[in-house]
């Protein structure tokens, strides 16, 4: 049973003030986009402090979580962002795998995996994308065969966020060799600490590494660590995708507000705010952010799920954030194009600009989101 914590904003704020201090003080404001490499060990320890206090899995139903309402979870996210809480390491387990296990897992899987996600003693990553299967996820070629009561997994995943710190990976693999496309896939839970797994960080534009290549060479996992029935992995995998973002969106938007405030501060300090075109873009960014917030609140409070709401939200925030990165460079003027020290000592504005290039790709690219809107809302019939 999760520890009881008060979900009142003032109590959350007080808890964060009391705990995000001392040895954790250096974490304030760290670990965000382009800064994922910062303080990894200390952030893992911080996750365990959050877990021990009962802040992980707030929205999961009892007995694993608190069954907190969306409004209560939003308060936590907003206070966390306001306090400058560091970028999270346990969110893939908490927000993607856990709801999937609650919906599709067995009791034994829930008992085995939810408590260590809640205590942050096991961190997870998501093994979907492959060199030939990104937008076209049904092209997955990683295969798994069942032999002597174990799955043997072989293949390559790519762009796997946080695999370099994760203990486990949920892997979409082809388990029926005769199958094609969406049929014959299975959703497997695979431990990463074993000889059959190699994780290679990929250096990103920011000079840091948030994601990785992951190679499976007859990696082993137990026969019962398949979520849903073998061959039903597509259904399970797409339900995981539907949990992406969710209530975390509002905390993310407070981060956006802080970034916008930093851009405004640069523009004020160097006089670029006096340029009417810059002022126009800043005002536009501010208004766009209000729109994002209202859209997120409306989507979260909707009584019936909107099948395209997530696509619309993704399109809106990814484009907004990318334009903010461009604005951050423009208000900085020519200095923005030069790193302050060799080899790659970047300012926050430069990191923001470079990292936001990825926003319109991950979690489903802009083109794919527009395809979804075209098909499901506007009634396009593909020939």
Ligand X SMILES: Cc1cc2nc3c(=O)[nH]c(=O)nc-3n(C[C@H](O)[C@H](O)[C@H](O)COP(=O)(O)OP(=O)(O)OC[C@H]3O[C@@H](n4cnc5c(N)ncnc54)[C@H](O)[C@@H]3O)c2cc1C
Q: How far is the CB of 49 from ligand X (least distance, A)?
A: 24
Q: How far is the CB of 229 from ligand X (least distance, A)?
A: 22
Separate counts of helices (H) and strands (E) for the chain:
12, 8
CA distance 250 to 292: 9
Q: Which of 46, 77, 151, 159 binds ligand X (CB under 6 A)?
A: 159
CA distance 59 to 73: 7
Nearer to ligand X, 128 or 243 (CB): 128
**Cα 78 → chain centroid:** 17
151 Cβ neighbours under 8 A, 6+ residues apart? 144, 145, 173, 175, 188, 190, 220, 221, 222, 223, 225, 226
User: 1 has which bridge partners?
Assistant: none
Q: How far is the CB of 367 from ligand X (least distance, A)?
A: 3
CA distance 11 to 83: 13
Are 96 and 240 in contact by the 8 Å Cβ rule? The answer is yes
Q: Which of 100, 109, 119, 126 binds ligand X (CB under 6 A)?
A: 126
Report, in angstroms and rounded to the nearest whole number, the Rg of the chain calculated over CA atoms. 21
Nearer to ligand X, 240 or 272 (CB): 240
Nearer to ligand X, 253 or 356 (CB): 356
Q: Is 241 in the site for ligand X (CB under 6 A)?
A: no
**Contact window for ligand X (CB under 6 A) among 7-15, 127-135, 253-261, 346-354:** 127-135
Site for ligand X in 341-360 (CB under 6 A): 358
Q: How far is the CB of 147 from ligand X (least distance, A)?
A: 26
Burial class (CB in 10 A: 0-12, 13-18, 19+), 227: buried
User: Is 244 a known active-site residue?
Assistant: yes
Q: Which of 73, 100, 119, 129 binds ligand X (CB under 6 A)?
A: 129
Q: Is 121 in the site for ligand X (CB under 6 A)?
A: no
Nearer to ligand X, 125 or 349 (CB): 125
Q: Which of 224, 274, 280, 367 binds ligand X (CB under 6 A)?
A: 367
CA distance 197 to 13: 41
Q: Is 128 in the site for ligand X (CB under 6 A)?
A: yes
CA distance 63 to 114: 10
Nearer to ligand X, 318 or 328 (CB): 318
Q: How far is the CB of 373 from ligand X (least distance, A)?
A: 12
CA distance 324 to 61: 37
Q: Is 95 in the site for ligand X (CB under 6 A)?
A: no
Q: How far is the CB of 290 from ligand X (least distance, A)?
A: 26
Q: How far is the CB of 286 from ligand X (least distance, A)?
A: 26
Could you count the other beta carbons within 10 Å of the beta carbon of residue 76? 23
Q: What are phi and psi of 6, to 5 degrees?
A: -75, 135
- DSSP H helices, the chain, are 9-19, 40-53, 70-82, 91, 98-104, 107-118, 233-242, 248-270, 276-301, 309-332, 348-355, 366-376
Catalytic pick among 78, 122, 218, 244? 244
Q: Is 135 in the site for ligand X (CB under 6 A)?
A: yes
332 Cβ neighbours under 8 A, 6+ residues apart? 266, 270, 347, 349
Q: Is 238 in the site for ligand X (CB under 6 A)?
A: no
How many chain residues bind ligand X (CB under 6 A)?
19
Question: Site map for ligand X, 39-78, x if CB under 6 A?
Answer: ----------------------------------------
Interaction site with ligand X (CB under 6 A): 125-129, 134-136, 159-161, 211, 358, 361-362, 365, 367-368, 371
Known catalytic residues are 244
């Amino acid at each position: 049973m999760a520890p009881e914590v008060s979900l009142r904003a003032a109590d959350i704020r007080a808890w964060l003030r009391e705990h995000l201090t001392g040895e954790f003080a250096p974490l304030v404001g760290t670990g965000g986009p382009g800064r994922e490499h910062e303080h990894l060990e200390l952030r893992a320890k911080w996750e365990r402090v959050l877990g021990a206090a009962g802040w992980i899995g707030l929205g999961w139903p009892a007995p694993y979580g608190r069954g907190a309402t969306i409004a209560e979870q939003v308060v936590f996210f907003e206070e966390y962002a306001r306090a400058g809480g560091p970028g999270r390491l346990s969110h893939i387990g908490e927000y993607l795998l856990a709801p999937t296990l609650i919906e599709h897992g067995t009791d034994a899987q829930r008992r085995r995996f939810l408590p260590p996600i809640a205590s942050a003693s096991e961190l997870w990553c998501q093994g979907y994308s492959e060199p030939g299967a990104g937008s076209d996820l049904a092209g997955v070629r990683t295969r798994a065969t069942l032999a002597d009561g174990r799955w043997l997994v072989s293949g390559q995943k790519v762009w796997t966020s946080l695999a370099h710190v994760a203990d486990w990976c949920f892997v979409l693999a082809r388990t029926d060799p005769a199958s094609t496309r969406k049929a014959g896939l299975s959703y497997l839970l695979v431990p990463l600490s074993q000889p059959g797994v190699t994780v290679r960080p990929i250096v990103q534009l920011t000079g840091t590494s948030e994601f990785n290549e992951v190679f499976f060479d007859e990696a082993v996992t137990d026969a019962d660590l398949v979520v849903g029935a073998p061959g039903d992995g597509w259904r399970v995998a797409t339900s995981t995708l539907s949990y992406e973002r969710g209530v975390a969106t509002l905390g993310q938007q407070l981060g956006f507000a802080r970034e916008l405030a930093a851009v405004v501060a640069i523009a004020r300090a160097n006089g670029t705010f006096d340029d009417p075109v810059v002022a126009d873009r800043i005002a536009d960014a501010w208004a766009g952010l209000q729109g994002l917030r209202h859209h997120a609140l409306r989507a979260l409070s909707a009584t019936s799920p909107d099948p395209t709401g997530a696509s619309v939200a993704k399109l809106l925030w990814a484009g907004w954030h990318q334009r903010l990165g461009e604005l951050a460079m423009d208000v900085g003027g020519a200095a923005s194009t030069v790193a302050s020290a060799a080899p790659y000592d970047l300012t926050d504005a430069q990191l923001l600009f470079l990292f936001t290039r990825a926003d319109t790709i991950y979690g489903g690219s802009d083109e794919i989101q527009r395809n979804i809107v075209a098909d499901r809302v506007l009634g396009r019939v593909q020939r």
